[in-house]
Amino acid sequence: MGCEFGQSREWPMNPAWTGHLTSDPAHAGIQQFVSDLQRRDAPGRRAAPAGRQGEGFEWVDANDSNQSVASYLRKGKSGAPVLVVLNYTPIAREGYRVGVPQGGEWRELLNSDAPVYGGSGVGNYGAVRAEESPSHGREFSLLLTLPPWEALFLKPAG
């Protein structure tokens, strides 16, 4: 009831349609992000079945309270896992290391700070290569740039 486009006030009892807010780029960006998350053909869903199947979930790091960052893997019956990294602060984090289950290139599927969503465009230029550097109990890791207040979705390329 307004969350899908960032309504800025409580929904009224006798509702007057507030959809006009989507003419504001900030509200339109929120609407686009929610739409991309929900569409079956969104990059995070079509390209990574784990994003919608719900067969598996595994924390990468749920304990980084010092930096207010959480990360986890979504795993399906088939296909590559999807890494989700959440930065709960207004501080961009550069060089943030996250353990991953495999090496190679990892592509950004969705970045909530992308300009199309009204964000500043801070991110990983679409992809980052996993290093053979152990982290979080895994043999490989990514060195990420985490935009402020962001949700970042990545999956291994090919």
In a shared domain, residues 69 and 105: yes
Query: Is 122 among the domain residues?
Result: yes
Query: Is 32 among the domain residues?
Result: yes
The domain tally of the chain equals: 2
CB atoms under 10 Å from CB of 111, counted, come to: 25
Residue 7 is predicted with a pLDDT of 54
How far is residue 121 from each of residues 33, 79, 83, 113, 118, measured CA to CA in Å? 14, 28, 19, 6, 9
Report residue 120's pLDDT band, with 50, 70 and 90 as the boundaries: confident
In a shared domain, residues 82 and 130: yes
How far is residue 81 from each of residues 6, 51, 54, 108, 110, measured CA to CA in Å? 29, 8, 11, 13, 14
Q: Between the ranges 7-11, 18-22, 105-109, where is the mean pLDDT highest?
A: 105-109
pTM of the model: 0.76
Query: Is 43 among the domain residues?
Result: no
Angle 113-114-119 from CA coordinates, rounded to 5°: 55
| pLDDT, average across residues 110-131 | 90
Q: Which domain does 79 fall in, by range?
A: 49-156
In a shared domain, residues 62 and 107: yes
